[in-house]
């Protein structure tokens, strides 16, 4: 059946083009590289800091708590489009959803996620 | 714009909602002296309520969310097995978490959440719903594996499990997208509608199917995708390892069964080839690797991989009713594997120390009851009558031969003979070696709940081995669609 060949050909094409891009730049690229060329690209200016520098784990907790509200907002936007058609059912549904998210928020609060010390 | 509210029918998800409520309560349990007992009790009550609900759903086939979720007899049977396994795991956890940990509520909350994920997986009829359940299950288990933050092996195991698990989930998702591309649907019964007319879609469709099976093969720890299992089981708290070795396998096999049923009226050759391959490699890798293990939990992990291989044989005969053999095997597997892990929990004294098979020297002399139950579990796993494991293997092999996969069954029988060595090695260590110093347990371990549970499980295995008829009848009833 010729269709299975087409899939096989597609996979082959993906692999070949993937390898080819790396190989062509390897053979055509000019070497040796200058030190300017080896630094990571950061919009044209010199890098300020190393990418492996450490930062406090607390930022991570704050980011997670932010996600709770972020997701909530995204879903409320979608809900707002069809809230009239959904009627009372939709209203209850959204409050249940907000309630579930608030449980997560209260849990984070109780575990001290909002304290910075 | 007309919005039609789907037929939600919350009744169909009531057990999951109850589990979620109990998990939420457990998250907020305040610190106190009686906390450990209360947490275990709450988790126990939540699970028992969901277990009690099973007979009320039986035979009704309640659908919900516009057919995305169906609580048919098959999913109820799987739900029963999962809850039995988790109830045992809760008892083990109560025994295992002896020291005061301030996060004990979260431990049980995560356990209940993982059960919720498994229930969603087995009741889902849509690949997206199944994926949702799989992620709820996986994320809970990633955290549970690393529950003791100070144990280095636990952290390592969790990271390994999480990285490989996330990779497997991505492959599963890729499979869903191929499947969607081929059929235009994510519902599992889309297989049936696709009746060979659109030959263009066939390669895509097979590709999607094989990727989905790879993702599920990871969750059930079947052989080319088993690498995470021994490390994760060994690094995890032993009570979590017991849960990890049983419950996700039930959910994963249930989903493979559903995929197979969807395929049954259609051209299932490719699926059968993949399953036969996974079964044969699981049996060979699991049994031969288990021969060389010195740690008890690691040996049980490899034996679990081998057991999954046997269970997959029953799925080869899916059109001839192999599902009943699968359910029967799973039920016995829940009992014998949870039992063996229960012994491991009992014997693990320090939470960051490996339990070696050598440590069980002379157990029979000091604790005849514990040694006897362990022997029952191991003999049952080896598949020797009159234990339940014999009939489980018998039905599985019967369905394999009826489906025409004689060579797979021959491999299974040969590897079963191999498995006798490592199962009986433990029994020999327990019964036939003299203890040199004082044994692994205190001399007079009192008769408590834990020992009673182990004896009950062992008795149930023997009873099911002598009179397997009624369980098999229920299993056949459950897969009759």
Determine whether the interchain pair A89/B203 forms a contact, defined as Cβ–Cβ distance below 8 Å: no
Shortest CB distance from A1 goes to which of B1, B3, B199? B199
Joined tokens for residue B381:
């796993």
Q: Is B247 helix (H, G, I), strand (E, B) or coil?
A: helix
What gap in Å lies between CA B108 and CA B138, rounded to an integer? Answer: 15
B448 backbone φψ class: left, alpha, beta (φ>0; ψ -120 to 50): beta
| Token representation of residue B117 | 């994920």
Q: Residue A47: give the domain boundaries.
A: 2-110
B306 with B419: CB under 8 angstroms? yes
Shortest distance, CA A74 to any CA of chain B (angstroms): 19
Residue ranges of chain B with pLDDT lower than 50?
1, 197
Residues ≥6 apart with Cβ < 8 Å to A66: none
Identify all chain B residues contacting A6, using CB atoms and an 8 Å cutoff.
203
- In the prediction, which pLDDT does B1 show? 47
Supply the pTM of this predicted model. Answer: 0.87
Question: Which pLDDT does position B190 carry in this prediction?
Answer: 62
| Lookup: tokens for B431 | 């019964």
Q: Which of B2, B27, B199 sits opposite A3 (nearest CB)?
A: B199
- Would A117 be classed as within a structural domain? no
Q: Are the beta carbons of B108 and B35 closer than 8 angstroms?
A: no
B339 Cα distance to chain centroid:
13
Chain B residues interacting with chain A (CB cutoff of 8 angstroms): 1-3, 5, 24, 27-28, 199-200, 202-204, 207
Chain B: give the shortest CA distance to residue A8, in Å.
Answer: 9
Per-residue model confidence (pLDDT) at position B351: 52
What integer pLDDT is reported at residue B30 of this predicted model? 66
d(C-alpha B247, C-alpha B478), whole Å: 19
Whether B3 sits inside 8 A of A7 (CB atoms) is no
Task: Give the N- to C-terminal CA distance of chain A in Å, as an integer.
Answer: 67
Could you report the predicted ipTM of this complex, rounded to two decimals?
A: 0.75
Cβ-Cβ contacts under 8 Å, A103 against chain B: 24, 27
Q: Do residue A3 and residue B5 have CB atoms under 8 angstroms apart?
A: no
Rounded to whole angstroms, the Cα distance separating A115 from A110 reads 10
Q: What are the C-alpha distances in Å from B240 to residues B144, B243, B337?
A: 7, 5, 13
What are the residue ranges in chain A where pLDDT is below 50? none
Residues of A with CB under 8 A from a CB of B: 1, 3-4, 6-7, 82, 85-86, 89, 103, 106-107, 110
Angle of CA points A99, B251, B20, to nearest 5°: 20
Instruction: Give phi and psi for B122, each to the nearest 5.
Output: -80, -20
User: How many alpha carbons lie under 13 Å from residue B318 in its C-beta half-sphere?
Assistant: 26
Domain ranges of chain B: 10-479
For residue A92, what is the domain's CATH number?
Answer: 1.20.58
State how many domains chain A has: 1
CA distance B465 to A81: 60
Interchain pair B202, A3: CB under 8 A: yes
Q: How many residues are recorded in chain B?
A: 481
Q: Residue B2 is nearest to which of A3, A85, A89, comparing CB atoms?
A: A85
Q: Tokens 């069964």 identify what position?
A: B257
Tokens standing for residue A73 = 């907002």
Residue located via tokens 């707002």: A80
In a domain, A19, yes or no: yes
Chain A residues with CB inside 8 Å of B202's CB?
A: 1, 3-4
pLDDT of residue B337: 93
- Pairs of CB atoms within 8 A across A/B: 26
Contacts of B420 (CB under 8 A, 6+ apart): B382
Q: Are residues B207 and A7, on separate chains, in Cβ contact within 8 Å?
A: yes
Task: Please tell me which residue of chain B has the smallest CA distance to A1.
Answer: B199
C-beta atoms surrounding B383 within 10 Å: 26
- Which of A12, A103, A108, A109 should we substitute to test contact with B (largest number of B Cβ atoms within 10 Å)? A103
């Amino acid at each position: 059946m010729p269709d299975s060949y087409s899939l096989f050909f597609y996979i082959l094409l993906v692999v070949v083009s993937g390898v080819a891009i790396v190989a062509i730049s390897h053979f055509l690229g000019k070497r040796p590289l200058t030190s300017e060329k080896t630094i990571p690209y950061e919009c044209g200016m010199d890098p300020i800091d190393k990418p492996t520098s450490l930062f406090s784990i607390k930022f991570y907790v704050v980011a997670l708590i932010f996600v709770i509200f972020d997701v909530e907002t995204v879903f409320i936007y979608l809900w707002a489009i069809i809230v009239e058609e959904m009627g009372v059912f939709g209203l209850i549904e959204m409050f249940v959803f907000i309630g579930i998210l608030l449980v997560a928020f209260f849990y984070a609060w109780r575990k001290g996620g909002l304290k910075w010390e | 714009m007309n919005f039609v509210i789907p037929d939600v029918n919350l009744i169909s998800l009531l057990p999951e909602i109850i589990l979620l409520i109990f998990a939420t309560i457990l998250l907020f349990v305040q610190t106190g002296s009686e906390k450990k007992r209360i947490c275990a009790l709450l988790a126990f009550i939540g699970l028992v309520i969901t277990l009690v609900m099973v007979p009320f759903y039986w035979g009704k086939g309640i659908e919900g969310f516009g057919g995305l979720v169906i609580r048919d007899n098959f999913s109820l049977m799987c739900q029963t097995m999962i809850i039995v396994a988790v109830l045992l795991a809760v008892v083990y956890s109560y025994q295992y978490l002896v020291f005061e940990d301030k996060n004990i509520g979260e431990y049980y909350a995560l356990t209940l959440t993982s059960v919720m994920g498994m229930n969603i997986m087995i009741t889902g009829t849509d690949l997206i719903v199944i994926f949702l359940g799989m992620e709820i299950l996986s994320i809970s288990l990633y955290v549970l594996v690393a529950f003791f933050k100070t144990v280095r092996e636990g952290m390592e195991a969790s990271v390994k499990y999480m990285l490989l698990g996330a990779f497997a989930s991505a492959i599963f998702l890729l499979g869903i997208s191929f499947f969607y591309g081929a059929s235009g649907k994510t519902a599992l019964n889309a297989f049936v509608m696709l009746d060979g007319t659109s030959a263009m879609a066939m390669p895509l469709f097979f590709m999607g199917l094989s990727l989905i099976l790879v993702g599920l093969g990871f969750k059930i720890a079947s052989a080319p995708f088993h690498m995470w299992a021994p490390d994760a089981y060994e690094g995890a708290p032993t009570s979590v390892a017991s849960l990890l070795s049983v419950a996700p396998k039930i959910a994963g096999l249930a989903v493979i069964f559903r995929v197979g049923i969807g395929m049954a009226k259609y051209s299932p050759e490719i699926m059968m080839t993949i399953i036969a391959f996974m079964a044969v490699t699981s049996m060979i890798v699991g049994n031969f690797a288990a021969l060389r293990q010195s740690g008890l939990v690691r040996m049980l992990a490899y034996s679990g991989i081998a057991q999954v291989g046997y269970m997959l044989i029953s799925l080869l005969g899916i059109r001839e009713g192999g599902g009943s053999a699968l359910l029967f095997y799973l039920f016995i597997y829940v009992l014998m594997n949870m039992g063996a892990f229960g012994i491991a929990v009992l014997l693990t004294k320090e939470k960051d120390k490996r339990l070696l098979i050598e440590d069980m020297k002379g157990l029979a002399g000091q604790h005849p009851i514990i040694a006897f139950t362990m022997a029952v579990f191991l003999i049952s796993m080896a598949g020797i009558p009159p234990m339940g494991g014999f009939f489980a293997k018998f039905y599985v092999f019967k369905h394999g031969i009826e489906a025409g996969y004689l060579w797979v069954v021959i491999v299974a029988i040969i590897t079963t003979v191999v498995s006798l060595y490592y199962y009986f090695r433990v029994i020999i260590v327990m019964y036939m070696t003299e203890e040199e110093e004082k044994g692994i347990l205190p001399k007079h371990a009192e008769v408590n709940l834990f020992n009673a549970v182990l004896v009950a499980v062992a008795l149930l295995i023997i009873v099911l081995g002598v009179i397997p008829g009624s369980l098999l009848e229920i299993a056949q009833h459950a897969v009759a669609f």
